[in-house]
Chains A and B, each alone.
Chain A
């Protein structure tokens, strides 16, 4: 059944009115080679009952592994109240409604969200959220090009220690808009972005420098020095941060002498469950001087004609329903539902709760690394301080080890070998507050058994 309330008669009448014989004629201007054609690979429709059964069978195959994978999405405890509230009818929508000001509750939620994220990152203004952290970084790079009016080069310095998926996404979105990304290497001993690799670009026209904290390896960057380097060389500085880590680490608004210019990150750790690729939500904050270059919606607090406080969409002239092709972004819808979950999560755990989550995650990861590196053939790749993730080096290829662990009900980490061939057999592991000492012992025992049964390569 098609969910289109037009009868065949309606369609015939409309086509006759505009003098077109067939609906397909309306798509004439799209070349034949670009059209999708019939969906021949899709099997015939199954019944709801059959689909339900198929899905539960496949879900059962996934099992409930003991999870030690991070790499950009993190398993945290989500208080039951978060999704009980988010799924209420008043909130259960991904969108800012039309006639937004008629939905004061929705706008107030967004306003509270903006306030929390701006405060967490120590920046002046936040938008109403973006798709996810990766596309958020692409948006930040495009924004930097608009905001850095001294720079003409469209060149972004992109450390290799930034999440590889984020780098690919930024290339896919911004690469076609003529931005050029220059890879910046990392120190093989510390895993930190190398200042001498940056120095090679001194004196060049650089639009922006990206800094991820903690970086993809979980390692803490020397953010003050990197930020100051960027500013001294005429670049804007874009921070990519994990929101949980900000309960412990210095917020990007305070990095270096002046703080960074744009902050983005993945909001998933704040109350959004792990899912295969999402939906998650991205966050973005900046300084007031750049607010007109920021993509996305912004909710402001104002007074109505009677002097009562109220909430309203503001700075809409930057957005595509007004600015059309010259809008700050063509993908600036927000992830309202996930953003609401993040707001409620932050409201429930509070600053203290978030700090406890961050501290526990840091401690669990330290415990995990200590346990795993006692095993022969396992060592930690880098010596620098880390947050809740660490890169391990194994004495043999990672993929077969992870397969063997999966058979024992353990999701043992992220195989980083393909992204970083120079690191050899690299395994990225993570433990959050959800892992107990018993879980860590279980993982260590399983890894010891797996590495002990087969010979090292």
Chain B
């Protein structure tokens, strides 16, 4: 099982990652663990800009050949943009989940909400426990 968990990101137990950008916005995607579990992704539906989302709200769908799964907003905020590049290259979620495979950018309602999420160590521990 591939378990690349970059140290600088925050994580959820539903396998989303959150990157804090210098301008105060955040970028969100699904983790290496999640993309591996889902298999080859063929389609991603990302939220439209301007949408206000609550923490835990389903706002994207990633679809593999055999399953479609919701992706949840790790924190509340306003959607700035979805990753338009996924329309032509959904497989980048598999090949580069923390880079080209990002799903959407969000302006957090409260930046402090990030602190409540798992850090890399916490997420790794969670994965290890779930695997048992």
Contacts and interface: CB of A to CB of B under 8 A. Distances in A.
Most interface-central of A316, A317, A323 (chain B CB within 10 A) = A317
Contact of A318 (B48, B65, B66, B68): B68
B68 A322 contact: yes
Interface in A287-320: 292, 316-318
Contact of A326 (B64, B65, B66, B70): B70
Nearest to B68: A317
A323 B62 CA distance: 12
B1 interface: no
Interface string A390-402: 0000000000000
A149 B47 CA distance: 9
B43 A149 contact: no
B interface bracket (residues with beta carbon within 8 Å of A): 10 to 19
Interface in B48-62: 48
Interface residues of A, number: 9
Majority SS at the chain A contact face = helix
Interface string B64-93: 111110100000000000000000000000
A356 to B, nearest CB: 43
A314 to B, nearest CB: 9
Contacts of A149: 48
A438 B64 CA distance: 61
Nearest to B42: A317
Interface string B26-53: 0000000000000000010100100000
Given A292-B43, A317-B63, A323 B48 contact: no
A322 B43 contact: no
B59 to A, nearest CB: 12
Contacts of A316: 66
A322 B70 contact: no
A402 to B, nearest CB: 51
Contacts of A326: 68, 70
Contacts of B48: 149-150
Most interface-central of B48, B63, B65, B68 (chain A CB within 10 A) = B68
Contacts of A292: 43, 45, 63
Interface of A: 149-150, 292, 316-318, 322-323, 326
13 contacts: A149-B48, A150-B48, A292-B43, A292-B45, A316-B66, A317-B65, A317-B67, A322-B66, A322-B67, A322-B68, A323-B68, A326-B68, A326-B70
Given A150-B48, A317-B65, A322-B68, 17 more contacts: A149-B48, A292-B43, A292-B45, A292-B63, A316-B66, A317-B43, A317-B63, A317-B64, A317-B66, A317-B67, A317-B68, A318-B68, A322-B66, A322-B67, A323-B68, A326-B68, A326-B70
